[in-house]
Chains A and B, each alone.
Chain A
């Protein structure tokens, strides 16, 4: 019996992987330029959302500092993969760094590690603070990092930023990593280790009374979240090929928060759904911002319209459905089954 169940599971998973790979192959072959960029951006945002959700939602440490963490990680990884010629011309780095020409995977992992390191150093001291004070401090981290990025010219080339970063990211990397991340997070949340996070998230005092070392697990949650987020930043940098101190500012932080808020921050599917909605909306609505012709009337460019719309949507979601679209429900095979069955029943009932 057990083996039969396992075989069935294996079968389902393999089919799933096969289908996914097939879709990716199709997308890679037939889409070009802008559209594939959107798909890639969606993947990256999904990864970042998952990372942030571990810290912010599951362990309930509402931190906005991940923008600053991503900035450091992105800079670090760029410095490792930039061509030596560029580095020697524009920057003043220690020799080992200047000559570094790392391949993709080690650079990614380095990004993750740098992210972990920075978050431990930066955010940990703020743990003494509670609630709003902590949020304020985390906002500060973003601003401080951006400021450092602007001023530390020798390492970051100041406000002009870095260019010529190799285009390592493609659709296979992104989605491979995304699926790995989903798998990892899913396993994590269902493990004894991960359940400690969720316990802390639900009720910190209760968790500590039940023997959970709250501070330690919060640190773990932070570390894991930061690692994932750092990788997300590295993927982004190697997709765009350029870097500047303003890319992960508060506007970006808000977009990620918006993704989690819309999709539902308590679930994996929620994070991904939210990332999908906001990414596709933002990217596909871009041309509208540039101005267009409607019924013969020339509508002028309205830069910022997208942000305004997202802000309005978020406010509405927070008022009317604060738990997000999916709330606490994950999407599973069973949910799809149920939905189909319910639809079936309704149709039957009508005839």
Chain B
């Protein structure tokens, strides 16, 4: 039993990494703009698809394809900001309006891909290099898991340092807290928003590569559940709180896997319920999330 648990934990860490990166992307955008980027899961999906196409159709070397995929996600996020969110913000749209637009963007992107590429599940390219396994006693640790974990930790540390110590990162935290006052410091909040989208979307792209390596599947609907779970993780961590989002991601990832591992197999299909139950319980106890949110009015919409 103990071994089984440890084995599952290793899987869980990969899944937690994936969700953690998504959550950080969500929380950055959420914190700065006060809006849920519902289409974040689709930006994730686009990254995975681009990697798949580059490798399968154009035979691009995997590493280059992965980097290009991350770039593609970034571009997708920036386009999304330009085309959907910026006009709304310019017109001072109420948050509900932006939310509906965001919802629309999510479905629009998902169904566009479904339209052109059908809902067929495709195999994410996994180079042989990643399939190497190490054995520690009876526990199998894939090289893939190690790489995913290390990459995620490194990236998260970089992001955390960026947020805490750089000029731009501090500016982002300021804009997150109080956009109007930040303007008075000479900060062009439009540029900060673009930066947030760029970083958040790049993280989503990296998360997508990790997802592809772990689960091996690419399809237009793949962004829905991870996206939503990433959003839940961001909420759990407190809006706008980057380290909180990272922890939230791992919490959900590890929690979900442990849930399936510890409960009898008949209850496995109830796995999504676990995440939502966790959310409800935590929000019930601490309505603004586990950690301190990074917005002026943690109660959203200026309450």
Contacts and interface: CB of A to CB of B under 8 A. Distances in A.
Contact flag (A, B; Cβ within 8 A): yes
Interface of A: 62, 125-126, 128-133, 135-137, 139-140, 143-144, 147-148, 150-151, 250-251, 254, 257-258, 261, 302-305, 307-308, 310-312, 314-315, 318-319, 322
Contacts of B287: 128-130, 133
A274 to B, nearest CB: 12
A132 B239 CA distance: 10
A148 B280 CA distance: 17
A307 B93 contact: no
A133 B283 contact: yes
Residue among A136, A148, A254, A261 facing the most chain B CB atoms (10 A cut-off): A136
B99 A135 contact: yes
Interface stretch (B4-12, B102-110, B241-249): B102-110
B270 A311 contact: no
B284 A318 contact: no
Nearest to B275: A140
25 contacts: A125-B284, A126-B280, A136-B36, A136-B231, A136-B232, A140-B276, A144-B273, A147-B269, A147-B270, A151-B269, A151-B270, A254-B103, A257-B100, A302-B116, A303-B118, A304-B112, A305-B111, A307-B111, A310-B104, A311-B107, A315-B105, A318-B88, A318-B98, A319-B101, A322-B93
Contact of A254 (B36, B91, B104, B114): B104
A46 B140 CA distance: 57
Nearest to A307: B111
A257 B103 contact: yes
Nearest to B300: A131
A307 B108 contact: yes
B260 interface: no
Contacts of B300: 130-133
A304 B111 contact: yes
A140 B280 CA distance: 9
A304 B115 contact: yes
Contacts of A147: 269-270, 272-273
A312 B108 contact: yes
A32 B88 CA distance: 44
B279 A136 contact: yes
A129 B280 CA distance: 10
Interface of B: 30, 36, 83-84, 87-88, 91, 93-101, 103-105, 107-108, 111-112, 114-116, 118, 224, 228, 231-232, 235, 239, 269-270, 272-273, 276, 279-280, 283-284, 287-288, 299-301, 303
B107 A254 contact: yes
B130 to A, nearest CB: 32
B263 to A, nearest CB: 13
Residue among A126, A130, A258 facing the most chain B CB atoms (10 A cut-off): A130
A53 to B, nearest CB: 13
Contacts of A314: 100-101, 103-104
Nearest to B277: A144
Contacts of B88: 318-319
B93 A131 contact: no
A250 B99 CA distance: 14
A139 B232 CA distance: 11
Given A147-B270, A254-B103, A319-B87, A136 B112 contact: no
Residue among A126, A150, A302, A311 facing the most chain B CB atoms (10 A cut-off): A311
Nearest to B115: A304
- Give the 7 A-B CB pairs with smallest separation, nearest first: A311-B108, A131-B300, A304-B111, A318-B101, A314-B104, A307-B111, A304-B115
B108 A315 contact: yes
Contacts of B280: 125-126, 137, 140
Contact of A311 (B105, B235, B279, B301): B105
Nearest to B86: A319
A106 B24 CA distance: 50
B104 A322 contact: no
Contacts of A144: 272-273, 276
B45 to A, nearest CB: 14
Contacts of B231: 136
Contacts of A132: 30, 36, 235, 239, 300
